[in-house]
Structure 1
Amino acid sequence: MSSIHSGNLIIGQSGGATAVINASLVGAVEAALTSQRINGIYGMHHGIEGLLKEDIIDLRQQPSSIWPQLVHTPSAALGSCRYKLQPHDLERTIEILKRYDIRYLLYIGGNDSADTAHQIAQAARQANYELYILSIPKTIDNDLPFTDHCPGYGSAARFIAQATQDSTLNTLSIPWHYPVKVIETMGRDAGWLTASAALGKRSETDAPHILLLPEQPFREQTFLTQVEDIYRRLGYVIIVVAEAMRDDKGQALGTAGQAGLDAFQHPLLSGAAQYLVELVKRELKIRARFDKPGDLQRMSSTSISKPDQEEAYLVGKMGVQALLAGESDKMITLVRHTEPDYHCTTGLADLDTVANVQRLIPDHYLNADKTMVTQAFYNYALPLIGAPLIPASKLEMTRIQ
């Protein structure tokens, strides 16, 4: 597809916000500001849902001082949405884009956002409207295909890894009070975030002791046997479970806590950790409790990973450059390099191969019983979380004779 001479750019953010999603916005805006072929720079207020309402922001009118500040600000500055395009929306979308002379469109989001971008690209093609549209990857679930990893994951992984270590110290201070602790992470179908809880683990006895990932069916008796064995050996057990953990029949744990479906028919789950706590108390007669970080795990400004932030900026910047080069109906990807040191460049993947496709955690990142990660996962994930985690110091318990 050949490049066009000039036109307006619009940018949207969609899906669950992250600690670094605004860095992608800033990367795109700053790249657009240097281009003579981009006239207006607009923002969708609350993603595609806002565009359909013609709730559009003029980003050129923002003070220049806002962009370096926004890089370090979590959540979606433009506002986000979880809106599934209806067939009648596409015609209106193209009509609005035409009216505002929008020729370039960047949509920042995950799997469902990639699908939205792909549908708009197809609609523009059918309407013979010259539109260049790209998807910018973003998801803490880290489950988009064709990219080495997703912006947003490294910061969320850093939060979970540090939080697991910190919460464990509380358990160790009075191990007989609540010797079994369950920490619940986000993650719809992929266990990348749950696995990240182990990034502070240095020995077999360190926490976490059990990881329950949604790729593997939950087997109650196997779990109880493992908990009891670790409790007998160590006196405490730290378990990290994905909120979407399912049994071997595909039923989500703690289904009683399900809060319905989102616009894309994904279940809104809540209850896996509580289910496990009640199971341990009932079957093993051991005191247990749970921690649920919730939105904090994807929105903590104190846990922003520097590489994650820089890569989020990079995909936004390169998204604009790819649009200007005539690329469309594609997603920007991150390509890993390890020489001379870890860094990423960018590539492109066709949206029709990305939309609604999930990349699950591969078997070689997990041990034989699929409840702990291997060295291969450490090699993959540690560069993404940035600086080393804050280490815990422990007193030597030398008693007076």
Structure 2
Amino acid sequence: MTYKGFSKLPTLLVGQSGGATAVINASLVGVIEVARDSGQFGRVLGARNGIEGLLAERFILLHDQEPELLQVIRVTPSAALGTGRHKLKEGDLDRALAIMRQHGITAFVYIGGNDSADTAHRLAIRAAETGQELRVAAVPKTIDNDLPETDHCPGYGSIARYLANAVRDATYDSIASPQLHAVKFVEVMGRDAGWVAASGVLGFLSDERDLEPLVLLPERPPADVEVVLAAVERDLQTRGWSVVVVPETLRTADGRHLGGNEPDYIDGFGHPYYPSTGAALTRLVSQRLEVRARYDKPGTAARMSISLASAVDQDEAYALGAGAVERIVAGESGIVTILRRTGDDPYACVVDAVPIERVANTVRRLPDAFIAGDGFGVTDAFRRYATPLLGPEPFPRYGRFDEGRQGM
């Protein structure tokens, strides 16, 4: 396979993997622009659908794309190269490296989450074992915000902004119409960590704290469904309505999935996808508490919507992609770029890097200091941590009539 613009300089390959976010393309453009401008690479290639594209030799030229197009790609939702969830088999490693040799690829940047870091790590190890020249860097991407070492992950600030607004709006709807659906569950992504669910409280301003929803967290699993029913019933008795943010993967303390114990699907990395937790709890509340209930499931719209994306998230995603190439040009390999917080007021982060093995196949859960004492909410420490990630002016101001000013 040949490409126009062939150069004797080496080639950098970049791919995207896992669930696409609102800002994964910002990281991609950071990689492309810094690699192109470095003068160290004759070509920048993109692998279609991640590692699957590498193994199938489905590449696209990126270094000669128009700057205007790249700026549009930077703010385009989902993954411009296409994404995938292919788990590298042992035999795939040698094939992948052979393809890289054939195309003169001496640098590889992989944008993704835990599993993508593992893929990059395995390729770096095999290249070192066989003496093949290959510098490898991973760029973090996950709305789950569950990667260790980094202060937070690109994609999280945007989904947090989206859900904080969505849960707040859903709450005002519940206040207005408890007779139509007194209980509302909002089912969110996040795998087995509570970062995404916790973001559901961030939209409530200081004069709205009395409206905050219940939040169910994987780190504080209920002993059984009776605990959830009791919390909802208390809400109904005190407020007349109840909004509950629930993770799609929520289990009881003894490991039973609240949506059902049989997964609908298991991906190539062994991650199970269970039936809807929100749907199951909605049915249970309707039957046991004899009130109307419903559930909302933002789903993939929350994961990669650009309409409420955080400007902070977009800028940091770009910086992490750019930083990965800068590290490669400096001679580093086997690293993942991360964010280190250097200030809270004003908020600031800098790009750093750590060895990939400190991130691959590891999950960071919501710490105890961020979880309210009753297990159904978050602390001010979490608000201080997460609110800057949402970007400037994330919430409009809403109004409520004074209940004390009743007409005659």
Say which of 227, 244, 247 aligns to 2:249. 244
Counting aligned pairs with the same residue, the percent is 42
Partner of 2:19: 16
Give CA-to-partner distance per residue, 1:316-361, whole Å, 9 cap, x none: 1111100001111111010112166212111111111211000000
Aligned residue in 1 for 2:3: none
- The TM-score, its normalising length taken from structure 1, stands at 0.96
Is 2:185 the counterpart of 1:182?
A: yes
Aligned length: 396
Match of 1:140 among 135, 143, 158: 143
- Tell me the distance in 2 between the aligned counterparts of 1:64 and 1:257: 48
After TM superposition, the runs of 4+ consecutive aligned structure 1 residues lying more than 3 A away are 395-399
Could you tell me which amino acid in structure 1 is paired with residue 406 of structure 2?
Answer: R
Contact 1:182–1:241 (CA under 8 A) maintained in structure 2 = yes
Counterpart of 1:171? 174
Say which of 58, 62, 83 aligns to 1:59.
62
* Secondary structure class of the residue paired with 2:202: helix
Q: Structure 2 length normalisation: TM-score?
A: 0.94
Larger mean Cα displacement after TM superposition, 113-122 or 224-233? 224-233
Task: Give CA-to-partner distance per residue, 1:239-281, whole Å, 9 cap, x none.
Answer: 0000000012212111267312011110112310011112212
The equivalences for 1:69-84 within 5 A come to: 69-84=72-87
Confirm or deny: 8 A CA contact 2:261 2:274 kept in the other structure. Answer: no
Q: Alpha-carbon deviations, 1:5-29, whole Å to 9, x = none?
A: 9521010000000000000001111
How far apart in 1 are the matches of 2:134 and 2:282?
Answer: 52
What is residue 274 of structure 2 aligned with on the other side? 269
CA distance in 1, matches of 2:345, 2:182: 45
Letter in 1 for 2:258: L
CA contact (8 A) 2:171 2:211 kept: no
Q: Give me the whole-angstrom Cα distance separating, in 2, the residues matched to 1:298 and 1:85.
A: 25
Distance (whole Å) between structure 1 residues aligned to residue 170 and residue 264 of structure 2? 27
Tell me, in whole angstroms, the C-alpha distance in 2 between the residues paired with 1:63 and 1:257: 48
* Aligned equivalent of 1:218: 222
Matched-pair contact (CA < 8 Å) for 1:245–1:253: yes
- CA distance, structure 1, for counterparts of residue 20 and residue 82 of structure 2: 9
Say yes or no: does 1:107 pair with 2:110: yes
Q: Which consecutive unaligned segments of at least 5 residues does structure 2 have?
A: 1-7
What are the equivalent positions in structure 2 for 1:110-125 lying under 5 Å apart? 110-125=113-128
Match of 1:350 in 2: 355
1:336 aligned to 2:341?
yes
> What letter corresponds to residue 268 of structure 1 in structure 2?
Y
Paired letter, 2:51:
I
Indicate the RMSD between aligned Cα atoms, in angstroms: 1.5
Q: 1:35 to 1:350 in 2, by over 3 A?
A: same
Q: Is the 8 A contact 1:256 1:271 kept in 2?
A: no
Amino acid in the other structure paired with 1:205: D
Question: Contact (CA 8 Å) 1:43, 1:56: kept in 2 or not?
Answer: yes
Retained in 2: the 8 A contact 1:15–1:109?
yes
Equivalent position SS for 1:171: helix
Of 369, 376, 379 in structure 2, the residue corresponding to residue 371 of structure 1 is 376
Deviations 1:151-199 (CA, angstroms, capped at 9, x unpaired): 0000000000000011112212211110110000001111100000000
Q: 1:336 to 1:232 in 2, by over 3 A?
A: same
State the AA in 2 paired with 1:344.
Answer: C
2:392 aligned residue: 387
Distance 1:287 1:177 in 2: 7
The answer to whether the 8 A contact 1:205-1:234 is kept is no
C-alpha displacement of 1:224 = 1.7
Q: Where does 1:241-320 land on structure 2 (aligned, <5 Å)?
A: 241-255=246-260, 258-320=263-325
